[in-house]
Structure 1
Amino acid sequence: MTVSPNDSSLPSSPRGKSRASATNRPTSTPTARNPPQLPTPLETALLAVYPILLTFGTLFSILSPQTRAAPYDASGQSHVQASAPSYFARKDNLFNVIFVKRGWGWITAAFVVLLLTHPSLGSVTRKVKAAIRWGLVTAWWVLVTQWCFGPPVIDRGFRFTGGKCEGAVVRVAEGKPDRADVLTAVACRASGGKWMGGHDISGHVFLLVLGSWFLLQEMAWIAARAWFEGRRDDRCIVMGDGAVKSAGVEAERVEGEELAKEQGLGLGGKFVVAVIGLCWWMLLMTAIYFHTWFEKLTGLLVALLGIYPIYVLPRWIPALRQIIGLPGI
């Protein structure tokens, strides 16, 4: 009897079954990792808060008839105080005097309380590396706003773009004060002059962006790791051998993390949230009532320039990560 090779009555070959099953087996696609050189999607969404606040505030100041009609003092980067369109447009408002003018003190205080009270930071290693990150962020704040081997970056930029201390020049010629004393905005105003003519990077925007993002980074990843056991951590890191892995592979397990789930934010976390909220509110007020749009933009960019090397660069440079670590790791 001749048998057709397609006769369905014959038993199928085991090899044929294996081929068929191999063909029909669903193939798994590897999960795409976030590039270590870039912020995560969550970080990108949070970073978008800053340009959104600045853009909204700038548009509000242009479209609001009351704000637009109020006289503006270019040398003071604010509205004339006697006719300020809002309480928050006055430089002597309590939020500006007590909070923003002492901004880095509040930011540091919130960080210290978080560092000393939150169970997830019970590890000495985590405390030390968090303190190093604070030191680096603080160093950037000092260089930009206080001292950079002489005048700070903001004042150097102002003079580089043609700015000078007007009104104190005559007094310099008379021998008081010395010419070196008017190289900074603070010294200029103290000598009775006006800091005019150059591009003035917004120190308020710089401080509020840098400080709030620092606190957000230090708190959010710790909370996410404690509450969600790292499942919400989409940071990726480059290992010593060049492999790209989830940041969780280097996470140090801390006894206090179980307690942190029950405690929630705790005293330190609530303090941090309050300071971040005030930073965002005063950033919006600054966007509406103070500085030009370009001064606010450069304040934002200079702050981001200090953030990237501390919170993103270590993810793809293992040697740097060993020194300053990552929040929550």
Structure 2
Amino acid sequence: MADTNTSSLRSRSDNKMAATSTNVPESSSSASSTQSTAANKRRNPPHFPTALETLALVIYPTVLAFGTLFSALSPQTRASPYDSTGQSHVQALAPSYFARKDNLFNVLFVKRGWAWITAAFVAFAVTHPAVTSTPSRAARAGLRWAAVTGWWFLVTQWCFGPALIDRGFRLTGGQCAVAESNVVQGDKHAGARDFATAVACKAAGGRWSGGHDISGHVFLLVLGSWFLLQEVGWVAVRVGALTGRRDERTVVMGDGAVKGAGVVAEKSEGQEDTTDAHRTLGLGGRFALVVVGLCLWMLLMTAIYFHTWFEKFTGLMTAFVGIYPVYILPRWIPALRDIVGLPGI
């Protein structure tokens, strides 16, 4: 009987100890899960720009709004005759050198804008160790350039026929107004509506008239400067050249988990270079930032002196349409990220 009681007491004691040992890991696991959930809530959602990117993006509508307001309030600008068809102030009475289409910044920089953007990107990509350290990084940076350049080309140059800007102009009722003396009967210049592009219209001595003209200047300057800011900026953040900032980007992994962008960093040899050359932007990076500065300056000049507010707004939105698929979408679509990568990673 005593042996039975002793055995029963021992059994109860063992059960309590087992219960205690089982509860400790459960409590620890619960606390760890809670901390992980809290950390995920603090992270920036991968579907949206980070706080740093949002701050940069706000610059564009702010510049456009300020320029439009300045144009409306400036007595000199309001008093200057404006040709809405030619989207320019009358040259002889222009309120500023930058209100003339023949100003050197417009002729040599904006009119050749994508060449400058490309030159700045190449100068940075082929000289900075953070890009050249692994072939895959350089290749993915090239793919991102190709994607953004493709959008620029479709909007401004050719889209299986006329560019999207020209198509939009025609769809909103625009046409080429050609002087009677310039019309050649029986030829391709037989009718004003036969001209599908602004280039062809101008070549025939005509002018686009009547439709909605998306601001190509705003589109180019926003798309190009944001492209450079992404490619140079995130490299600067990750290598420590931009002090006081950290990589806030998050990505969706293959299993659906949301993690910091650093987890997809390649572990190739030379990845974590700590030389001075690696931690600075170098000449290529500085050149890119100069081009970004010129883009912002000419964006302000465009906002003050050219186009209506709605034409500037649609130019801005068209640029944003090309930005999201290249720089935000890959963060939450792993398959796309495997192809184009992320800047700085």
- Give the equivalent residue in structure 2 for 1:56: 66
1:294 to 270, 286, 310: 310
Distance 1:173 1:190 in 2: 13
Distance 1:80 1:231 in 2: 46
The runs of 4+ residues in structure 1 deviating greater than 3 Å are: 168-173, 176-181, 228-231, 253-257, 260-263
Residue type at the aligned position of 1:312: I
1:37 to 37, 47, 52: 47
- Give the equivalent residue in structure 2 for 1:266: 282
- Give the equivalent residue in structure 1 for 2:256: 242
- Give the equivalent residue in structure 1 for 2:173: 162
Residue 317 of structure 2 is aligned to residue 317 of structure 1: no
Distance 1:259 1:102 in 2: 36
Residue type at the aligned position of 2:203: A
Show structure 2 runs of 5+ residues with no match: 1-19, 21-26
Quote the offset at 1:272 in angstroms. Answer: 0.4
SS of structure 1 residue aligned to 2:323 = helix
Residue type at the aligned position of 1:275: V
Distance 1:176 1:72 in 2: 33
Distance 1:262 1:141 in 2: 31
Quote the offset at 1:258 in angstroms. Answer: 1.4
CA-to-aligned-CA distance 1:236-289 (integer Å, 9 cap, x gap): 000000000001001124447312566511011000000000000000000000
Residue type at the aligned position of 1:81: Q
CA-to-aligned-CA distance 1:82-140 (integer Å, 9 cap, x gap): 11000000000000000000000000000001011011112111100000000000000
Distance 2:197 2:179 in 1: 12
CA-to-aligned-CA distance 1:188-245 (integer Å, 9 cap, x gap): 0110111000000000000000000000000010111111799700100000000000
TM-score, length-scaled by structure 2:
0.84
Residue 154 of structure 2 is aligned to residue 143 of structure 1: yes
Quote the offset at 1:46 in angstroms. Answer: 0.4
Residue type at the aligned position of 1:104: W
- Give the equivalent residue in structure 2 for 1:46: 56
- Give the equivalent residue in structure 2 for 1:8: none
Distance 1:260 1:312 in 2: 30
Distance 1:143 1:170 in 2: 33
- Give the equivalent residue in structure 2 for 1:6: none
Distance 1:322 1:169 in 2: 57
Residue type at the aligned position of 2:167: R
SS of structure 1 residue aligned to 2:213 = coil
Q: How many residues align?
A: 308
Distance 2:222 2:299 in 1: 8
Q: Is the 8 A contact 2:221 2:295 kept in 1?
A: yes
Quote the offset at 1:307 in angstroms. Answer: 0.3
Q: Which segment is superposed worse, 252-261 or 32-41?
A: 252-261
After superposition, the Cα gap between the structure-2 partners of 1:231 and 1:263, relative to the gap in structure 1 and judged at 3 Å, is closer
Show the 5 A alignment for 1:1-329: 30-31=38-39, 32-122=42-132, 123-167=134-178, 171-172=182-183, 174-178=185-189, 182-227=195-240, 232-253=246-267, 254-255=270-271, 257-259=273-275, 264-329=280-345
TM-score, length-scaled by structure 1:
0.88
Q: Is the 8 A contact 1:168 1:191 kept in 2?
A: no
Distance 1:243 1:170 in 2: 68
**RMSD, aligned CA:** 2.4
